[in-house]
Structure 1
Amino acid sequence: MTTQTPSSGSHRKHAAVWAGLTTGLSVILLALLMLFISPSLLSGPRDLGLGVVGPQDRADSVSKTLEAQSPGAFVVQSYENAEDLEQGIRKREIVGGFDFTDPDMTVYVASAGSTAVSGTVSNVGATMAGSMGQTAEIVDVVPLPSGDPTGVGIGGLAFPLVFGGIVPAVAFRSMLSGQRWWIFAGLTGFSVAGGFVVAAVLKYLFGSIEGPLVPVAASVALGIAALALPLAGLNECFGTKGFTIAAMSMMFVGNPFAGISTSAQWLPAGVAMIGQLLPPGAAGTLVRSVAYFDGVGGGAAALTLGIWVLAGIVLWFSGPRISAAKARKEAALATV
């Protein structure tokens, strides 16, 4: 008859823990790879508005050609003249366009909207011009500033926005424990201060924006508040678990799905929709809109951020009531 020694039982327990952790962490690593890499691998032109100067039959011909080359990539519409086409780009009705009225083709783009999109439109235009024995002249209707010609400044906002929303919620709660009004004031004050710091760096250090500072600062501040206030409110209502789940969602879903560097139109449809409903993606869209397009195209993003801020305020002020209700319920159960 054999007996199991305490040592062998301990080894089996440790082996089971080792196997479980290894498997679980491997699954998490795989999920993170999918979340951060898949959107980039699956990205590309999708339903991009493209204008064509000329009669409708010319636009139809271009549309058929592009659909054959890149199915689902472009939606073509006709414009009477180049001035109307440029105005359509500034109003963000389209991302670019082609003008065939001159002997050589003119390709209109807006690199400030997305360098990935403008580069694609430029390449498609050059290829089409070459097939007709023409050359393509590129006109950048809304260019990026000369200090940041590749758009790296605004394109890199995703992580600072997420950081600016998560870390203050932890820091003020830790340093001002129990001081609810001071914590709330700290979060709102940091949102404003952080917005101006980021905007000032983009404007004066990186040269990423050339227009007024305040609209960009206000957009960044709204983005930070849309992260910080809901996270703090969830912690008030549901404790550390609520905060942790929300913070991880923003970090591991909101961040890679934001599409700030390429624009949401470049991401897969489902990913783009999710990203624009979360604060990082909405904030990136709003900042780009106010920085380069006088706010055009940023209305939905501003509304989304406003809803997040309002939700955070409601959660914050509901926290004490929810905590009191939980305490009463626990006390009632204890007396049974």
Structure 2
Amino acid sequence: MTRRAATPDRTGQGRKLAVVVVGLAVVVVAMLCAFALPSVHNGPHDIPVGVTGSRDATAALAKALSGEEWDVTTYDDAKAVKAAVENRDVMGGVVLSPGRITAYTATAGGAQSTAALTSMVTALAKQQQADVTVTDLRPFTSDDPRGAGFSSAALPMIFGGMIPALLLSRLFPGHAGLRLRLAGGIAFAVVAGFAVAALLQYGTGSLSGTYWITSLGLSLGMGALALTLLGLESLLGVAGYGLGAAVIMLLGNPLSGLSSGPHWLPNGWATLGQLLPPGASGSLLRANAFFAGTGAGGPALTLGCWVLFGLVLILLADRRGTRKAAADEPAAQAQLV
């Protein structure tokens, strides 16, 4: 009796199954790395702090804070320290004077970093038996003092890019619907950005910036996500969309630093998070909503690059579709003849 050889279909299905199993395993491991590793190693990392006072006092404090948790810069006087906090050059400032320690913080710049700085200053004042005063120069709003509404904006911004890209790809498929998908993605980003900003600023009272500037920033963030995913789907199909969505959810979301601020993540992870659309969107929202646009240039440029990347992908997909249609037209005419 002869043994029947495996059919090509079964061999192909076996390979496909192996690829799916390995791919899912890689996704699970990537998810674990993205969520677990930053959490295990989170905490203060090179939090910039401004210090002023007598030479001996500032030298002693700088020596005490010489670990990886703090990055100390010395300023000439208290006015310079306060300006550095307001301009986001440092996360907080410490003014040392005989019998008193004054701390300037910016809770809206990073609540956990502010808490760490406040705890450090309180311990230092207790050690030196000095009075301590903590002034929050950039707090969250009085309606939302813990910044819960601001922190909750991460997922709406992410899904505001993912869901329209998915729906538009299904409703207007193929090369014929490409331009409709592009127009729909841009329109949705603008409308959703203004709607989310209105809810956070006037509904929950969580934001305090100029409404239309904050809205445009949110629209830019959602547009960066939507156009990138639309471009990946148009050029690479479902696999492209899945890859982009996985990167956004598995890396962009946990590394965005929206609730904690980037200085609470390990340095490499924090840098990566700020280069991805969710992290850049969160930083842009923070700058516009609480710091009058100070520090908005970097994240806005990052999001602009992602928008350009998405547009390039869509342009490539459009040209490929045009060439394919031109190549198919003579064959269709020949069949009619």
Following superposition of structure 1 onto structure 2, how do residues 130-279 of structure 1 map, counting pairs within 5 Å? 130-177=126-173, 178-279=176-277
| Aligned position for 1:96 | 92
Relative to 1, partners in 2 of residues 1:104 and 1:140: Cα closer, same or farther, differing over 3 Å? same
Whole-angstrom CA distance in 2 between matches of 1:147 and 1:196: 20
Percent identity (aligned): 36
Whole-angstrom CA distance in 2 between matches of 1:77 and 1:32: 37
Letter in 2 for 1:123: S
Letter in 2 for 1:104: R
The more displaced of 55-64 and 84-93 is 55-64
Over 3 Å off, 4+ runs: 23-31, 323-330
Indicate conservation of the 8 Å contact 1:147/1:207, yes or no. yes
How big is each residue's C-alpha offset from its partner over 1:204-234, in whole Å with a ceiling of 9 and x where there is no partner?
1221112321111111100000000011111
Letter in 1 for 2:143: G
Shift of 1:180: 2.6
In structure 1, the gaps of 5 or more residues are 1-16, 331-336
How big is each residue's C-alpha offset from its partner over 1:83-141, in whole Å with a ceiling of 9 and x where there is no partner?
22111001011111111225221111110101101000000000111110123211111
Whole-angstrom CA distance in 2 between matches of 1:308 and 1:97: 35
Whole-angstrom CA distance in 2 between matches of 1:76 and 1:25: 44
| Aligned position for 1:50 | 49
Whole-angstrom CA distance in 2 between matches of 1:210 and 1:143: 10
TM-score (norm 2): 0.86
| Aligned position for 1:32 | 31
Indicate conservation of the 8 Å contact 1:55/1:80, yes or no. no
Following superposition of structure 1 onto structure 2, how do residues 4-15 of structure 1 map, counting pairs within 5 Å? none
In structure 2, the gaps of 5 or more residues are 1-16, 329-337
TM-score (norm 1): 0.86
Letter in 2 for 1:161: M
Indicate conservation of the 8 Å contact 1:59/1:76, yes or no. no
Instruction: Please provide the CA RMSD for this pair.
Output: 2.7
Relative to 1, partners in 2 of residues 1:28 and 1:185: Cα closer, same or farther, differing over 3 Å? closer
Shift of 1:299: 1.0
| Aligned position for 1:13 | none
Alignment pair present for 1:121 and 2:134? no
